[in-house]
A and B are shown apart, each in its own frame.
Chain A
Amino acid sequence: KAGVTQTPRYLIKTRGQQVTLSCSPISGHRSVSWYQQTPGQGLQFLFEYFSETQRNKGNFPGRFSGRQFSNSRSEMNVSTLELGDSALYLCASSSRPASGANVLTFGAGSRLTVL
C-alpha cells in the first residue's frame, strides 16, 4: 500500500512569490491535513480537508490556503511568501478508525526555503 506522497520534496522561493504544494493521500483515505513545522514553533496545524470540504483551519493568515480534489488529493498554496514561511510542510491522511482516536499517516514533507 503506497504511503502519503508529497511533492516537491525541496523548493526554494524568494519573498513575494507564491508556492503550491501537493499531497496524495493513502488510497481510500478521505481526510487530508496539513502541518507546518519550524524549529521555533514545532508542528502546527494548518487545515484539514474531508471529501473536498475544509473542515478546520488553524491560526494562520489568509495567505495560506488549500483545497482537496474529488480523488482526495490535496494542494496547499502560500501566496506572497515571507522569510518566516520557510519550513517543512507536512501532509497527513487518515481514515475513520474502527475504534480509538484518529491516527495520522504523514508524508515525508516539502521543505520550503524562502530567500
Chain B
Amino acid sequence: LAKTTQPISMDSYEGQEVNITCSHNNIATNDYITWYQQFPSQGPRFIIQGYKTKVTNEVASLFIPADRKSSTLSLPRVSLSDTAVYYCLVGDISSGYSSASKIIFGSGTRLSIRP
C-alpha cells in the first residue's frame, strides 16, 4: 500500500497561488492520485484525481511527474475559504474498482490563508 508524505502545514495569503507537494515513493502501476479537502467538522471533499502529467479542473490543477513518485496540487488565487486540510492519497484500481480499504489517508496538510 502506497504511503504518502505531505507537509504538516502551510501558510499563504489571499490571491496567491499555493502548491502542495505530496511524496508517494512506493506508488504502484495501477494507483491513481487523489486529493481531498476537509473543513472542520465536515467530511473530506474530492478535489481532483490524476494518473500522470497534468490534470486541471475548475478548482485546481494536479501535476504528476513522469516517475509518479510525487504530485503537486496547485490552487490558483486562493481565498480565505480555501483554509482547510488537504489530503493526498493513492488508491489501486484492481479489476477496475478500488476498494475503500486500500485508500489510506495520511496526516494531511493544514493550509491557512491570511488576508
Using a CB–CB distance below 8 Å, which chain A residues touch chain B?
Answer: 4, 31, 33, 35, 42-43, 45, 47-48, 55-58, 88, 90-92, 94, 96-97, 100-109, 111
Contacts and interface: CB of A to CB of B under 8 A. Distances in A.
A96 B101 contact: no
Interface residues of B, number: 29
Interface of B: 31-32, 34, 36, 41-46, 49, 51, 87, 90-93, 96-101, 103-108
Contacts of B101: 33, 45, 47-48, 55-58
Contact of A103 (B46, B99, B108): B46
Contacts of B108: 42
28 contacts: A33-B100, A42-B105, A42-B108, A43-B44, A43-B105, A45-B100, A45-B101, A48-B101, A55-B99, A88-B41, A94-B100, A96-B97, A97-B96, A101-B34, A101-B90, A101-B91, A101-B92, A101-B93, A101-B103, A102-B97, A102-B98, A102-B103, A103-B34, A104-B44, A104-B46, A104-B100, A106-B42, A111-B41
